[in-house]
Structure 1
């Protein structure tokens, strides 16, 4: 049977119509308003409550059953039913029920993860896609990730779907892998697969834009955990070719991956060989703010070596002028922090330090750093609907530095006061470095 209010199949049988019970309760409580759920026919409800996509073979006028823990046990059991239609209906119901945290935790305790992993090789593409979507929701819970990571075959199954299946299933599998890679412990688990890095690099070069963005986010988290394997797989050259992509989102994420590679000594050596700072010059004037932030973040790692500092001396005037102009964007504290760090790295070169001391010292002192009342605690650069102010509440936007403490199991918390104190301290370090004189 099917419940139209939850857009899910139900497996229990009820002797009495629940609408009759609802009418009796309303009469006993002497309610004057009319509940559209209890009226006949059953489809008389508000348009906003109507599910946009019904499950297959559904007649919404014949829904009579209620949901409960017993029903969850039965649909979990029906995942391996020999009846193909009943199996598809059970999977559709589980995908809907995992949206509710209480039911998701109950299904995790019922070992639903193991049943879903067994269905990843099903011949029906609809089942494969819905399995990936359900695992993605379960992976947002700590208990769900623990159950998923207990099966090493999950990574191999996801990689087979990512490399060989149709694009809709490739997107769903890439989203599941990216959700798992957000956890540092899961990164170690994923890297146990000997070919995961090489396969991701292959698909990054030859796939659709949306799937490539998911792969780049996954690759960034894996590279942060272990940069050696990506460097051995020529990830530096692959990311360098993505700098010329037409989509600014791909360019930004490729730079973030490159920044993780340049944290390693070999990555910084390759950056000097390919003269990466010269390549990044044109991105400092890019139209996209995200690309500028990613480029400056990458330069914070590529300007550490002595060879890079000597190379930057050839265009000291243009480089310092552009970086100081970006330092005055006080509405982007993250951009200010990275620009200060790049200038601080360049101050190790005496010529750059003397140039800043002679022409730009007063300008640096006048750089405005916003107060905590002027900042909402997020580095989101788009004009999305944020709730700002002293209550420090923001909407749950993915991959945004927020100070909301209840977003997921591992939120990326930003303390406004300490963050701005860090920006101010970086500014003082830059002024101290400009006035620093070597021993004679």
Structure 2
């Protein structure tokens, strides 16, 4: 007999084809072989991979030809095929191929972005959704963003989809817009589009949670570049309303966007008018760690003005006690760093400084900061970092915020050592601020 798995014969010469013998034996034993290519469904996909908009008569797992360079050129050409079925097959095939970076770069060189932009407003909902998903992948490459943003028409198309289309396509379009706004050069081009800030703020107030989260991140990226436009569009008041939302993710997104607004002098004045420091007091005691991190990050900018410092003096004991307790939480280095910076801001007020020196100086001096071996560059202490030691970057940790530098040319690069060094510097500045005197004896 022939063993197909080991590719070997149990006898040297046989008059009958060994595979026939194997099939006869299997049939006699009623043994069934599971073949994923012949069972239904054809591709044993996970349930989460099933699309929300199904294309008729299209099986994305079966290709008519091998996707070499010739195949990619053909499916790129089929995007504008008069046969609608061929067009759908080409779209699904390109969606599969752009997952491979080499094929994605080759398709970008074939100017696939221009063809996709022309298909964004097609009548078929499947085409519109797939085009947005493909453009999102292409926008993650520098060459793809450059090609896509060379046609300002894409912003108008995306805004049309975001405002008027069905829910699945609004989500896909919002995801594309968020990906494009993550690049500084693209942000400058996006802001040239008329009413983009006003339209996003309109959708933030009454849309589904997943779409609102994407819009908030887009607004944060746009506001970081130029906060004047959102301030003129009453973004401050809208974000303040979102603080009362039930979903903690929306609250965090609104606080992050408000942080960018408060970097502008007008934003600081509005924070004083609306007494934002007092508004944030219950949030720094929230059970959600994400809300606490975002609230303390926003408080870094709301406590910069003289008016806010003297206003904080009214709840000095409660506020300083909570902030010092957050500084002692070594499991959350970003929260620890932001809390120390807020205390540095508050120490400009003499009464708060004297209160800190009298009650909390010893605790601040004994403040513990983790070393690089105890911290793996994330906001949470997980078993992965403890089990793998220095090889923690090879593990997949879902749902954990990664620490990134928030200044400099390499703002997206993770650097645990420089972050911890920065924390030691901030701790030294806090100790200096507590012991600072306005005169010398």
The TM-score with structure 1 as length reference comes to 0.85
Q: Structure 1's 265 and 388: CA in aligned 2 closer, same or farther, altered over 3 A?
A: farther
Q: For 1:374, what is the secondary structure of its paired residue?
A: coil
Partner SS state of residue 373, structure 2: helix
Separation (CA, whole Å) in 1 of partners of 2:250 and 2:356: 34
What is the aligned partner in structure 2 of residue 395 from structure 1? 396
Distance in 1 separating the partners of 2:399 and 2:114:
27
In structure 1, the partner of 2:155 is: 155
Q: State whether residues 268 and 302 of structure 1, in contact with CA within 8 Å, keep that contact through their aligned partners in structure 2.
A: yes
Q: Is the 8 A contact 1:113 1:148 kept in 2?
A: yes
Q: Aligned partners of 1:51 and 1:92: how far apart in 2? A: 15
C-alpha contact 1:56 1:89 (8 A) present in aligned 2: no
The equivalent of 1:87 in structure 2 is 87
More relative contact order in 1 or in 2 (CA 8 Å, sep 6+)?
1
- Determine the structure 2 residue equivalent to 1:16: none
CA distance 1:373–1:151, shift in 2 (3 Å): same
Deviation at 1:201, TM superposition (A): 0.2
- For 1:425 and 1:42, how far apart are their aligned partners in 2? 58
Q: Is the 8 A contact 2:55 2:88 kept in 1?
A: no
Once residues 63 and 433 of structure 1 are traced to their aligned partners in structure 2, the CA distance between those partners, rounded to angstroms, is 67
Cα 1:403/1:263, change in 2 over 3 Å: closer
Give per-residue Cα distances to partners, 1:395-428, cap 9 Å, x unaligned.
3868943589xxxxx8721211111111111111
Residue 363 of structure 2 corresponds to: 363
**In structure 1, C-alpha distance between the alignment counterparts of 2:311 and 2:61, rounded to whole Å:** 74
Q: CA deviation at 1:57?
A: 1.7
Change (3 A) 1:40 1:343: closer
SS in 1 for 2:391: coil
- Counterpart of 1:50 (choices 30, 44, 52) is 44
Say if 2:328 is the partner of 1:334. Answer: no
> 2: CA distance between counterparts of 1:368 and 1:399?
23
1:205 aligns with 2:225: no
Contact 2:65–2:71 at 8 Å: present in 1 too? Answer: no
Q: Which runs of 5+ in 2 are unaligned?
A: 10-18, 20-32
Q: Secondary structure at the match of 2:390?
A: coil
Q: State the distance in 1 between where 2:144 and 2:59 align.
A: 33
- Post-superposition offset of 1:81: 0.7
Contact 2:36 2:44 (C-alpha < 8 Å) held by counterparts: no
Unaligned runs of 5+ in 1: 1-25, 405-409
Distance 1:41 1:280 in 2: 59
1:140 paired residue number? 140
RMSD in angstroms over aligned alpha carbons?
A: 2.9
Q: Distance in 2 between matches of 1:42 and 1:163?
A: 41
Q: Normalization by structure 2: what TM-score?
A: 0.85
Map 1:227-242 onto structure 2 (within 5 A).
227-242=227-242
Determine if contact 1:95/1:134 at 8 Å carries over to the other structure: yes
Q: Rg: which structure is higher?
A: 2
Q: 1:64 to 1:279 in 2, by over 3 A?
A: closer
- Give 2:193's aligned residue: 193
Give the number of equivalent residue pairs.
Answer: 404
Q: Is the 8 A contact 2:120 2:157 kept in 1?
A: yes
Distance 1:269 1:436 in 2: 27
